Amino acid sequence: MIILMLVSSIVLEQKDILFPEIAGMVMGVIAFPVADWIKRPVHLWLSPSLAAFLGTALNELSVSPLLKLWLCFTIIVVLMHVFKVHFGPTIPAGLLPFFLGIHDYVFAMTTAIFTFMIMLGAMKMKKQEKAPHAPQTFRNKTDTLIISVILCLWVGLAFSTKIQVILVPPVFALIFEVFHAQKFAWRKIPTPLAVVTLTAILSVGVFHLLAGSILLVGIVNVLLTFLLCKLFKAPLPVAFGVSLMPLIFPAWGTWWFPIGVFATTGVLMCLSAAYRQLRMKQKQAFDVS
């Protein structure tokens, strides 16, 4: 699937076909099954596809890029909550048109095609019952509101300071899910932080070493990321999205990118852990009383 996406972008000479999160989605369905994703396969197709069309359409508005991005993010989060969508990659699918300046619908259409194929894979996995049992509860509204505000402020910080490397859509999806986790302790931060940071370092290195070859860069980066996940025993689909980011945006192909990934993941994960610990203490105090 990943090779097909890379080859299609080369043959059709359309860089907009490249959607890094496709790699993460494939790995999250086939290699490291994510229960919430596979539970409702149709969401893997409709959610990111509709988000991609929405992001592209809103990119035509005559307002500042930041306002368009905030508007799109808000609409996506609200719709995810209304339809109880657990699929985090829906968020980067809607935001990428703004980051990449996409105004045609190539990105949205190819996202719909590739996610449809991923949906078929998820249906097969669900039928074979290879996915772990999914939790029955959905996101808390208060948690959703708070993390949405935090992510919007982070994006606003990136725009106001013009530090593009802290705009990391796959990490935003990860944080959105982590923030809602019932338990997220400080000790759970180092491993995913190390994996995504090392992935960013290696992906930029390979991008410069094999400059000019989208296919080779993509394949090597995905393989290296897979080895990192195995080495750290961390099934982290988001890392595969990070591994392909240098291919689509100039700022993400610089050596500042790993620093941006480290800062974004570290700061937002620490905020998530602090918030979760606070909520747990409040719950314990309530139970005692």
Mean pLDDT over 7-19 rounds to: 92
* Residue 284 or 163, more confident: 163
Q: What is the pLDDT of residues 33-91, one digit of tens each?
A: 888 888 889 999 999 999 999 999 999 999 888 999 999 999 999 999 888 888 889 99
Contact by Cβ (8 Å): 183, 276: yes
Q: What is the pLDDT of residues 207-216, one digit of tens each?
A: 999 988 999 9
How many C-beta atoms lie closer than 10 Å to residue 213's C-beta?
A: 15
Q: What is the pLDDT of residues 219-241, one digit of tens each?
A: 999 999 999 999 999 999 999 99
Burial 99-113 (b: 16+ CB within 10 A, else e): bbebeebbbbbbbbe
Long-range contacts of the stretch 230-235 (C-beta < 8 A, 24+): 232/191, 232/194, 232/195, 234/191, 234/192, 234/195, 235/31, 235/32
Contact by Cβ (8 Å): 192, 265: yes
Long-range contacts of the stretch 221-224 (C-beta < 8 A, 24+): 221/246, 222/2, 222/23, 224/199
List the domain boundaries for the chain: 1-126+141-287
Q: What is the pLDDT of residues 239-256, one digit of tens each?
A: 999 999 999 998 999 999
Q: How far is CA 99 from CA 9, 65, 96, 165, in A?
A: 18, 9, 5, 11
Q: Could you tell me what percent of the chain has a pLDDT over 90?
A: 74
